[in-house]
Amino acid sequence: MCQLLGMNCNVPTDICFSFAGFQARGGVTDHHRDGWGIAFFEGRGVRVFLDPQPSANSPVAELVRNYPIRSLNVIAHIRKATQGQVRLDNTHPFQRELWGRYWIFAHNGNLLDYAPALTGRFLPVGSTDSEAAFCHILQCLAQRFPDGPPSAVALHETLRELTIEIGQHGEFNYLLSDGEHLFAHCSSRLAFIVREAPFTVAHLADQDMTVDFSRHTTPNDRVAVIATVPLTDNETWQQMTPGSLVAFRHGAPVPLGDTRTIASQPSRATGSR
């Protein structure tokens, strides 16, 4: 299983602590060695760092780990390839533009017999099922809402419908953000934690590293961190229910309607993206 990492905040925050533990999962504490990537939203722009090398010994990963980029929404991915060669154009997360804003997507899973009909506005550059699914999602959003972005409730419901459709082809854990919300879909395994006052000390599970968040935050700060496997071993993480789509905004889950994404007769396929 690949590794997903997301962060959603109410004030710009750096992800250096969480990324230090996450980086180790790409070749030290886990066997995912087929590339990694991370995207930071900054205003209307996005910084994206991609490397087909293992994150554990990637110079680019070391740069990110020591560069305190502050962002409201971050998505990162460590790859274990099942479809598509190990190369840069198959490295997550993927980026596209829709409605004059950037969208970022990363997927963990394996979609079998999946070949969506893409009309041309959004086409994969690489050869992964993940990028094809991303292009299909954006194509459907553009067709359904041709005049611009819908309400958050309508967006969430449309994403839920598309997730049910795509999920019939296999495991479809993903993180998706347009810079306003971060959508997290749990097909099989995903957890999150909301850090807010009173802040405490956290210790990484993959590195012997500790941080006292009370020394680096204000009482009004709130940060949600989403990961395939909890990153710390002394905090209480909430396991997401398989078959649920949760939207995060301002550092916490927000109620936008029905979260269920399990169809009546789901067909599951194991594997990693």
The residues annotated with a catalytic role in the active site are 2
Residues in the chain, overall count = 273
| C-alpha–C-alpha distance, residues 70 and 73, integer Å | 9
Record the tokens describing residue 63, joined without a space.
């740069």
Q: Residue 45: what are its φ and ψ, rounded to 5°?
A: -100, 170
- Mark 95-115 as b/e (b = at least 16 C-beta within 10 Å): ebebeeebbbbbbbbbbeebe
Question: DSSP for 202-258?
Answer: EEBSSSS-EEEGGGS--TT-EEEEEESS-SBSSS-PEEPPSSEEEEEETTEEE--S-
Residue bearing tokens 């012997």: 208
